[in-house]
Structure 1
Amino acid sequence: MEGQGPPQGIDQRRRRVDEANNPTRGMIHMISGGATDGDFGRARKACGRRMENFEISKPQDPIISFGPEDLRGVAAPHNDDLVVTVTIENYDVSRIFVDSVSSVNVLFKGTLDQMKIEGFELEPISTPLYGFTGHAIQPLGQIFLPVSMGNDPRRVIKMVNFTMADAPSSYNGILGRPTMKDFRDVASTYHQKLKFPVGREVGMLRGDQRVARQCYEGVVHEEGKKTRVEVSMIRGGEKLKIAADLETEVKEKLVIFLKANLDVFAWSVQELRGIKPAVMEHKLNLLSGVRPVKQKKRHFRPDKDKVIKEEIGEFLGVGHIREVKFPTWLSNVVLVPKSLGRWRMCVDFRDLNKACPKDCYPVP
């Protein structure tokens, strides 16, 4: 319509851009942790005193810059993290996340186990690590390992202090501020490159966007599982899942309530009660002129046959299904892999679905 102004969202964005020119309203700090400046208060205070007397030096380093030529081979547009491969203790370790806001360098226990380094000892650490969710993780210790970046002749090797964490992660390790300071790295996620001085020249590491996206999806999946469920034992060996991010008081009340109402839940298929047809009955409407389809019998491996027989026997035992001697329609079962190596038994109803009219207004 003529005479109308821009949408409200555009007005809000313009107003917020104008407000960005106003004086700042405060400082928002990031909480991380680790033993970057020392594992005890005395060491951290000493580091603070050194920073007070710190003088800016002027090293004769080459100029590090990024230009259009650095975008060659980069899939754009993108919003990918910078994930590189570095050499640690003569192992080429991929899936290393370059994180300029991390106060420590992190190496995960699974990575160190695969490296099979002999004769090393972890130095104990008492300072916990804090993630974005605020949960504390107690490190296993810290270890100094040689890290090599780049290729000859533009290659740099330095000893890096890694904090060892025993936690599931899609990454093999994290390079934080300490390493970026020691190597004098300059990172550009946009250009998917990490550059660093090598004498009067510039060395470089390229990011792997495909691996970065795989890692990101893995992290989202793991964090989703952490915040989504938490297992509580409330009846013998049975388990019930509740939200893991509930407040302690709310969680305790919820568990008490669930324990008081255990009879509401069906803990096995034997406890599922049937519904009489007089109460509810489901019927299929078939298109006129459709010929019934009898699928040929499919053959499965012995291990899958065993799963199918167990599932069918369980349903027959509780009366959920019954045997039919002369079926008009015949569909095979299908085993779909579940997590933890288990199987879900389904039925291939594709032929039957094709013979049924589509409901334009299905029930949600």
Structure 2
Amino acid sequence: MEDAPLIQFGRAERSSPQTMHNDALVITAILANYEVGRIFIDSGSSADILFGEAYDQMQLGDVSLEKVDTSLYGFAGEVVHPRGMVSLPLTMGKGTARKTCLLKFLVVDVPSAYNVILGRPTLNTFQAVISTYHMKIKFPTQGGIGEVQGDPFQSRRCYVDAVRRGEKRGGDDTQDKAPPNKKGKAPEEKIPEATEIPAKVQPAEELLNIQIIPGDLDKITRLALT
């Protein structure tokens, strides 16, 4: 068995070497031939989540869905019933250093600032290593080390949208997410400045801790509720 190629991150790889940040790692990737933005990389999630709104915009149809009998349970007894599970190809990287893997996503009808959450199943399948400091994800491919640079502007926009969703809970949400585009890029969005991001200590949205398997505390992911 060959040794895995060395994956490392250098100081020069930071997009803004002089600026410290605590942004979430949010990327754009190709999911089922759609360019999908607002993909949150969450190593704390034990499941890959495709939110229902994004799934509907991709127009894949319910025919692609597999029935999921097990509900998702929160610590306080909250229950989320997934619409189903769908197997979709995800492509990351560029040129010869790109990689495509078939992944299983739980389709969940819970409002979120994100389109997709990629958790440990994706990271392990891609043999990926992430660095939030460098805002980058790297993984081995047959053509070398593939990588995807995180988008700090998307990350901040998602945070702002999440805050606004929390503040407008129970009202109309006027901040629409850019839908996934087939054979094209997402529409240009106004880039939020750092001063636009409200400084809040509490979570922007109510977080629902989900046990993928009831009673197994190691298999937990978190979903934001509005």
**Residue 214 (structure 1) aligned to one of 157, 162, 173:** 157
Q: What residue in structure 2 maps to residue 274 of structure 1?
A: none
Q: Contact 1:128–1:138 (CA<8 Å) still a contact in 2?
A: yes
**Residue 128 (structure 2) aligned to one of 185, 195, 211:** 185
Runs of at least 5 residues in structure 2 that lack an aligned partner in the other structure: 172-205, 207-226
The alpha carbon displacement at 1:217 in A equals 2.3
Larger Rg: 1
The alpha carbon displacement at 1:115 in A equals 1.2
- Give distance in 1, aligned partners of 2:73 and 2:166: 14
Could you tell me the TM-score, scaled by structure 2's length? 0.69
The residue type equivalent to 1:219 in the other structure is: A
- Report SS of the residue matched to 2:63: coil
- Report SS of the residue matched to 1:221: helix
The alpha carbon displacement at 1:200 in A equals 6.2
- The structure in which a higher percent of residues are strand is 2
**Residue 111 (structure 1) aligned to one of 30, 41, 54:** 54
Q: Measured at CA, do residues 137 and 65 of structure 1 come closer, stay the same or move farther in structure 2, by a change above 3 Å?
A: same
Q: Measured at CA, do residues 134 and 207 of structure 1 come closer, stay the same or move farther in structure 2, by a change above 3 Å?
A: farther
Q: What residue in structure 2 maps to residue 153 of structure 1?
A: 96
Q: Measured at CA, do residues 131 and 180 of structure 1 come closer, stay the same or move farther in structure 2, by a change above 3 Å?
A: farther
User: Greater relative contact order (Cα 8 A, min sep 6): structure 1 or 2?
Assistant: 2
Q: Measured at CA, do residues 72 and 219 of structure 1 come closer, stay the same or move farther in structure 2, by a change above 3 Å?
A: closer
- Report SS of the residue matched to 2:64: coil
- Give distance in 2, aligned partners of 1:147 and 1:120: 19
Q: What residue in structure 2 maps to residue 96 of structure 1?
A: 39
Runs of 4+ in structure 1 off by over 6 angstroms are 131-134
Q: Contact 1:81–1:97 (CA<8 Å) still a contact in 2?
A: yes
- Once the two structures are superposed, residues 271-298 of structure 1 have per-residue CA deviations (whole angstroms, 9 ceiling, x without a partner) of xxxxxxxxxxxxxxxxxxxxxxxxxxxx
The residue type equivalent to 1:182 in the other structure is: T
Q: Contact 1:74–1:192 (CA<8 Å) still a contact in 2?
A: no
- Give distance in 2, aligned partners of 1:189 and 1:130: 29
Q: Measured at CA, do residues 94 and 179 of structure 1 come closer, stay the same or move farther in structure 2, by a change above 3 Å?
A: same
Q: What residue in structure 1 maps to residue 86 of structure 2?
A: 143
The residue type equivalent to 2:11 in the other structure is: P
The alpha carbon displacement at 1:116 in A equals 1.5
Q: Contact 2:11–2:17 (CA<8 Å) still a contact in 1?
A: no
Matched, 1:62 2:21: no
Matched, 1:127 2:127: no
Q: Measured at CA, do residues 143 and 59 of structure 1 come closer, stay the same or move farther in structure 2, by a change above 3 Å?
A: farther
- Give distance in 1, aligned partners of 2:156 and 2:12: 23
The residue type equivalent to 2:115 in the other structure is: N
- Give distance in 2, aligned partners of 1:61 and 1:195: 13
The alpha carbon displacement at 1:85 in A equals 0.5
The residue type equivalent to 2:153 in the other structure is: R
- Give distance in 2, aligned partners of 1:196 and 1:139: 29
**Residue 78 (structure 1) aligned to one of 4, 9, 21:** 21
- Give distance in 2, aligned partners of 1:78 and 1:132: 31
Q: Contact 2:98–2:143 (CA<8 Å) still a contact in 1?
A: no
The residue type equivalent to 1:86 in the other structure is: A
Could you tell me the TM-score, scaled by structure 1's length? 0.44
- Report SS of the residue matched to 1:120: helix
Q: Measured at CA, do residues 187 and 130 of structure 1 come closer, stay the same or move farther in structure 2, by a change above 3 Å?
A: farther
Q: Contact 1:62–1:200 (CA<8 Å) still a contact in 2?
A: no
Identity %: 41
The alpha carbon displacement at 1:113 in A equals 1.3
Q: Contact 1:84–1:205 (CA<8 Å) still a contact in 2?
A: yes
Aligned length: 172
